Amino acid sequence: MSPDWPRFLAVFAVLLVVVFVVGAVVSPPDPYTQLRAVGPGVVVALVVAYLVAIGGE
């Protein structure tokens, strides 16, 4: 099982955009609060991208 790094990076990039958009929509307009909302989402995006691209084999 070899890692599919291009697919991992593509999935992570898409999820990162989704996380930032959701974080901007659901949090107040304060930049600090938006970054606090995005932090856990980035970790979740890494895990999901790994499971989709590498762990799914």
Query: How many C-beta atoms lie closer than 10 Å to residue 53's C-beta?
Result: 19
Query: How many C-beta atoms lie closer than 10 Å to residue 52's C-beta?
Result: 16
- Tell me the pLDDT band of 3, cut-offs 50, 70 and 90: confident
Each residue's pLDDT tens digit, 14-42: 999 999 999 889 888 888 988 888 999 99
**For residues 7-31, b (16+ Cβ closer than 10 Å) or e, as one string?**
ebeebbeebbeebbeebeeebeeee
pLDDT of res. 34: 86
- Tell me the pLDDT band of 1, cut-offs 50, 70 and 90: low
- Residue 42 φ/ψ, nearest 5 degrees: -65, -40
